[in-house]
Amino acid sequence: VKFDFLGLRTLTVIDWAIGLVNETRAKQGQDAIDLEQLPADDPEVYRLICTGRTTALFQLESRGMQELIQRLQPDHFEELVALVALFRPGPLQSGMVDDFIHRKHGR
């Protein structure tokens, strides 16, 4: 069994952001954000993602990924997972990504 451990600063930045938000919420007498309670299917979040405005969203921020997101118009978390998995030279060059997008749109 092989394990790859990646040193990603993104998780640290997310932790800092949550800490700052929770500090502000505490000052306002609000409860801390519980990540486990955030909905994974918020339509407004997907609407924003589909505009391609994904700068600073880990693995969704490159120009190529932004273009694919706008073509796919994901509305489920699993579609984002699939797109990240397919965003590799082999699938991109073979037409697999185009096939995936066409199937989502019933073509």
pLDDT band at 104 (very low <50, low <70, confident <90, very high): very high
| Cβ contact 73:101 at 8 Å | no
Domain tally, the chain: 2
47 and 34 housed in the same domain = no
74 and 101 housed in the same domain = yes
Q: What pLDDT score does 45 carry?
A: 93
Q: Is the pLDDT of residue 41 over 80?
A: yes
What distance in Å separates the CA atoms of residue 68 and residue 74, rounded to the nearest whole number?
10
Residue 31's domain comprises 1-38
60 and 103 housed in the same domain = yes
Confirm whether pTM is higher than 0.85: no
24 and 50 housed in the same domain = no
